Amino acid sequence: MAKKNNLDEEVPETEEVDLELESEEEIEDGDKKKIPKRLEDLPGIGKVTADKIRKAGYSDFRKIAAASPHEFSEIAEIGVETAKKTIAAARDALEMGFETADNILERRKNIAKITTGSNELNGLLGGGVETQAITEFYGKFSCGKSQMGFQLAVNVQLPRDKGGLDGSCLFIDTESTFRPERIVSMAKANKMDPDKVLKRIYVAKAVNSDHQVLLADKAEEMIEKYNIKLIIVDSMMSQFRSDYTGRRALNERQQKLNKHLHQLQKLADTYNIAVYITNQVMDRPDILFGDPTAPIGGHVLAHNATFRVYLRKGKATKRIARMIDSPSLPEGEVVFSVDEDGIRD
């Protein structure tokens, strides 16, 4: 349709508007609708942009469909509205709409579990530490959180018939607590070659919360290259507590934490890997009766962790684990041991 200028003369529509209308007609006409198969087929993505986003790690529709518009806009250097259309097209191509629950159940059969080394603890977790989920262990110092991380880093390398995933591990160390010597002793107890086990654990020390977030973002580059099946963050809140102090910084801290946790969950879902995080605690002075211990991170961390387990120290090598929250498992409490060989019953 033509427009009129101030002199009442008809002015033809621009080519850009015509193309946009033509695109809308094609979408409305089921016979003309074209399902994109390559990155270049997505709206707003030309050859140059496609090459750019491939280098950034967005090599298939799954990653684009899971991206946020603002995130993808910066990476592809396109407008936010264009990014929304691109993401929507990728989701349509993957049919990311509603589906029946039986299909979800069938897909969940691909979920695997990593043994903790303790049958009692495995039972509490429904068989072990689950892929496509974030498992959080929190508790006071010396309760066994880091020891569990070391054990999982070893056990994930076991064959599947022995409770492992025959994969490698990414270990984000935020408290300078990673000890390769402990890995060696646990590997020997499992009758595994310590040198081979150490070579399949990729460790990075986070110097602050920004670096921690960046390491999680970079993890995607290593997952397929090194067959990563487990990501460990020990601990999740240490750097955030250090970088953001006082109530004025709380909102910014929680927003960054929320994005960080969503990135970890996206990696878990996309690549069918397990994420294990440890968390610090605080004592609540308003609790007069019962255990005043509470995890750090507030509701943001509570909502993003799939499984929350509270650890307490018992006598000698004994530790008590309590399931605090799970979407499918009941609350419960078990006793296990942390000794020279690692996590045991």
Residues 88 and 147 in one domain: no
| Residue type, position 196, single letter | K
Domain boundary, last residue among 60, 93, 126: 93
Residue 173 neighbours by CB under 8 Å, 6+ apart: 203, 204, 205, 206, 234
DSSP letter at 14 equals: P
Residues 26 and 159 in one domain: no
Positions in the chain short of pLDDT 70? 1-34, 96, 288, 290
Residue where the block lists tokens 């150490």 = 198
Domain boundary, last residue among 59, 93, 127: 93
pLDDT given at position 113: 97
Per-residue model confidence as pLDDT tens digits over 23-35: 333 334 444 456 7
Q: Can you give the CATH number for the domain in which 275 is found?
A: 3.40.50.300
Residues 64 and 176 in one domain: no
Report yes or no on 10 lying in a domain.
no
Report yes or no on 312 lying in a domain.
yes
Per-residue model confidence as pLDDT tens digits over 236-255: 999 999 999 888 999 999 99
Residues 200 and 327 in one domain: yes
φ, ψ of residue 4 to 5 degrees: the values are -115, 140
Q: Pairing between strand 129-130 and 133-139? A: unpaired
Residues 82 and 126 in one domain: no
Report yes or no on 101 lying in a domain.
no
Report yes or no on 99 lying in a domain.
no
Buried b vs exposed e over 108-117: b needs ≥16 C-beta within 10 Å? Answer: eeeebbbbbb
Report yes or no on 295 lying in a domain.
yes
Report yes or no on 309 lying in a domain.
yes
Q: What predicted TM-score, i.e. pTM, was given to this entire model?
A: 0.79
Report yes or no on 277 lying in a domain.
yes
**Cβ neighbours around 31 below 10 Å, total:** 5
Domain that holds residue 78: 16-93
First to last CA, the chain: 77
Overall domain count for the chain: 2
User: How is residue 243 written in tokens?
Assistant: 């970088």
**Cβ neighbours around 263 below 10 Å, total:** 17
pLDDT given at position 96: 65
pLDDT given at position 15: 39
